[in-house]
Amino acid sequence: MYGRAEEVLARALGPRREDVVVATKVWTPDAGEGARQVARALDWFKGRVDLYQVHNLVAWPEHLRFLEARREEGSVGSIGATHWDPRAFGELEEVMRTGRIDVVQVPYNPVEREVERRILPLAEELSLGVVVMRPFAEGELTKRVPDGFRPRTFSEFGVETWGQALLEWVLSDPRCHVVIPATSRPGRPTENAAVGGPPFFGPDERRRVATLAAGA
Ligand X SMILES: NC(=O)c1ccc[n+]([C@@H]2O[C@H](COP(=O)([O-])OP(=O)(O)OC[C@H]3O[C@@H](n4cnc5c(N)ncnc54)[C@H](OP(=O)(O)O)[C@@H]3O)[C@@H](O)[C@H]2O)c1
Binding segment for ligand X (CB under 6 A), chosen from 38-46, 89-97, 130-138, 168-176, is 130-138
Q: Is 185 in the site for ligand X (CB under 6 A)?
A: yes
Question: In angstroms, what is the minimal distance from the CB of 114 to ligand X?
Answer: 14
Q: In the Cβ-directed half-sphere of 194, how many Cα atoms lie within 13 Å?
A: 14
Q: Is 63 in the site for ligand X (CB under 6 A)?
A: no
At residue 77, φ and ψ (nearest 5 deg) are: -80, -60
Site for ligand X in 64-123 (CB under 6 A): 82, 84, 105
Binding segment for ligand X (CB under 6 A), chosen from 35-43, 87-95, 137-145, 200-208, is 137-145
Q: Is 192 in the site for ligand X (CB under 6 A)?
A: yes
The answer to whether the CB of 50 falls within 8 A of the CB of 77 is yes
The beta strand positions in 56-150, using DSSP E, are 76-82, 103-107, 129-133
Question: CA dihedral defined by 73, 103, 130, 56, rounded to 10 degrees?
Answer: 120
Q: Is 55 in the site for ligand X (CB under 6 A)?
A: yes
Q: Which is nearer to ligand X, 146 or 203 (CB)?
A: 146
Of 26, 115, 137, 212, the one binding ligand X by CB under 6 A:
137
Q: Which is nearer to ligand X, 7 or 191 (CB)?
A: 191
For residue 52, give the amino acid letter.
Y
Question: In angstroms, what is the minimal distance from the CB of 14 to ligand X?
Answer: 22
Q: In the Cβ-directed half-sphere of 199, how many Cα atoms lie within 13 Å?
A: 10
Please give the C-alpha separations between residue 78 and each of 13, 60, 108, 176, 192, in angstroms, as whole numbers: 20, 15, 21, 16, 24
Q: Is 195 in the site for ligand X (CB under 6 A)?
A: no
Other CB atoms within a 10 A radius of the CB of residue 32 amount to 10
Q: Is 138 in the site for ligand X (CB under 6 A)?
A: yes
Site of interaction with ligand X (CB under 6 A): 55-56, 82, 84, 105, 133-139, 142, 161, 163, 180-185, 188, 191-192
